[in-house]
Structure 1
Amino acid sequence: MISGSVDFFQDDRSDILTSNRAVPSYYGATPPTFNVGKVKSRGFEIDLRFNKKINNNLTLWSNINYTHARNKVTYADVAGLLPLYAKPIDKQIGQAYSYVSAGYYNTWDQLYGSTMHNANDQLKIPGNYHLVDYNADGVIDANDNIPYGYSGAPENTYNATIGFEWKGFSAFAQFYGVNNVTRQVVFGTFSGKNTVAYDEGSYWSKDNTNPDGPMPRWETTPAGFYTADRYFYDASYLRLKNAEIAYTFRQDWVKKAGISSIRVFLNGNNLYVWTKMPDDREANYQSAGGQGWASQGAYPTVKRYNLGANFIF
């Protein structure tokens, strides 16, 4: 009635090919890729199966699976004088990085008393994010871009399928979920003097100092990091991945037609999702620049419905 398995794994890799080298720009040339990286991976998987025949007509079954996998960079060719938080060491592959906000500039006094930006500081206005000076050096710059959330690959995945068979009827539903994952979805409202505005919830105003997001900018160019962590999301989700209901005909009229059985079914894929993400996506595609985080390009998860029949002769 009940069966299952538990698997543990570890994967220690070395001599990983990398193009990120600790060579200063004034060296005057791009160094070649080099087998120098080291990564340690650990995890486990639990699989449980249940199958119970209640009587001659009713059977219940389910499959439950949980996987935990976490990796950590143990060595990389990075500059020795960088602070630890700026190095990939002891972090996941693809760790997200972001500037972090501590609320908004709600008044000019708060703005004038804030930490200066190293670029376009004069373009700050109330309604923008008040960025955290993480290294406390008195200026917001690249050194305040810090590890944020998780990587784009989920640490934990869950899968549960439950079903039954009863007097020719059968049905099942599969739920799939992940957590400990971070994604970036950038909405370019008014970016590049574009008139497109996305539905991002409420914006800052003098009468709404606790909004969903800062005041949009138009025809001004603040520092590129002024959006802080606004477009980073907890990408955990629970999805109704598959569901089906079916009935199998084995009556005499079927056999008289020269058919052993007819199975009629209605099923669907990606029927519903519960998530904090602004849209339904399972991944970010890579784009140029930055930390390798893609802000655009992920195609929405497709929802499908199928109605059909299987004839067995």
Structure 2
Amino acid sequence: MKKKRICVLATGGTIASRPTPNGLMPALTGEELLAAVPEFKVACDVDCVQLLQLDSTNVQPEHWILMARAVAERRVQYDAFVITHGTDTMAYSAAALSAMLENIDRPVVFTGSQLPAGVPGTDAEQNLLTAFHAALGGRAGVYIAFGGKIIFGDDARKLCTMQLAAFASINRPLAGRFTGGHLTWLAETQTPTGAFRLHDQLDTRVAVLKIVPGLQPKMLELFVDAGCCAIILEGYGLGGIPDQESPANFLPAFTYAKEHGCRLVCTTQCTYDGVDMGCYEIGVRAQQLGVESGGRCTTEALLAKLMIELAEQGS
């Protein structure tokens, strides 16, 4: 039986870090990381590409483009991809590639660790094993493999800064679990609905504004004046943003944004369940002034989708 070909795209992160006088910094290559899971050299043919060597705090949209293009350029050569990545922005990168790699017909699995590879108690080896099993499982789509969970890439969020089970699936069941050395798929296979398409143009003029007590509507107008073409509003609960009953009435600011061609999309500060702007009068008024509902999408997923939509509308 022919062995599957797996391409590992290494980008740095905690999993690849080593101590320095100024704290942890990425240092290990992808090849060095793979030494932690030598069994997969037997189970499949593995090639490694060192795309980046970054603390994921420094990952930007141009790096998403680099990752997406790397997958697209090698898609026919390999059966699956594993991307090693820092945890802090992994959910953003996975959400971005979920949108950028439309109808991807291969598994693309992100993983990383809370503790560097090789240190006592590290979760690096287990997460790498989880990622490789998910990659070899053959289920098309973009995923995060972490803490024994397989999470759809556009529904993941990092909830913990230190706990090893750092990621959760938001508003969607897990794709799978890896326990006792065995992978169990919990969701139906994602079947591509059309031909593969790479979306590698992003318009980064998208901002996120969290609504908090005391925030003045002028801040929204300042974002518009700064050149934002879309703003994600993290409202309260089901999508609440102060209206004319509040000293901080955002309704005129919504009109200002609309007049200047800036899209407003509302999501929630709550972790789960999304927004329903038709539930309360306060949400209905916002929609009447052009604020769009983000539904059950995460902020991470909305950010990537808006960047793609803006870029393609402007092309």
**Greater fraction strand:** 1
Quick check: which has more Rg, 1 or 2? 1
Q: Same fold (TM over 0.5)?
A: no
Q: TM-score, normalised by structure 1?
A: 0.27
Q: TM-score, normalised by structure 2?
A: 0.27
**Greater fraction helix:** 2
